[in-house]
């Protein structure tokens, strides 16, 4: 039986039963981001937006069992995404591109469906063991820093 998702810190979480009757809290996706980025009119910006979504999907997924780390990642991503949306608005990126990114960048949009097998999530993270060191070292796409360089 899969528990219904519950809200914590503005983030959707779902519990999956695992061996011994324990429940593991898991967020996000075991597959690459499937969100579509509607072209902004600047191909370099489109690449950055796609990379940022994939990076954050990894960090949100793999931090799910560490509440403090996960909360910091959520907060950091929400600030970065908000700054990116403000910049795209100021630089007159087409509204439909901003709307599509806003939807794709929402933490809930980056979460796995509640019925995703825990083993798939574990395998996803096991294949990327450096995720925490990458996040800690800021070795990922930071839109607030990179978008101003490519948007006209």
Rounded to 5°, angle at Cα 50 from 80 and 15: 75
Domain boundaries, the chain: 6-150
What is the predicted pLDDT for the residue at 41?
Answer: 84
Q: Which has more pLDDT, 107 or 108?
A: 107
Mean pLDDT across the stretch 122-126? 88
E strand segments, the chain: 6-8, 11-17, 23-26
pLDDT in tens, 42-56: 899 999 999 999 999
């Amino acid at each position: 039986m899969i528990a219904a998702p519950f809200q914590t810190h503005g983030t959707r979480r779902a519990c999956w039963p695992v061996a011994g009757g324990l429940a593991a809290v898991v967020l996000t996706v075991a597959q690459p981001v499937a969100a579509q980025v509607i072209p902004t009119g600047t191909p370099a910006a489109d690449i950055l937006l796609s990379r940022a979504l994939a990076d954050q999907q990894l960090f949100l997924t793999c931090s799910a069992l560490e509440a403090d780390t996960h909360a910091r990642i959520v907060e950091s991503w929400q600030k970065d995404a908000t700054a990116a949306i403000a910049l795209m608005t100021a630089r007159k990126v087409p509204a439909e591109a901003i709307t599509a990114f806003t939807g794709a960048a929402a933490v809930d949009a980056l979460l796995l469906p509640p019925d995703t097998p825990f083993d798939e999530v574990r395998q996803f993270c096991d294949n990327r063991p450096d995720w925490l060191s990458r996040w800690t070292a800021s070795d990922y796409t930071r839109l607030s820093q990179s978008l101003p360089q490519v948007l006209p």
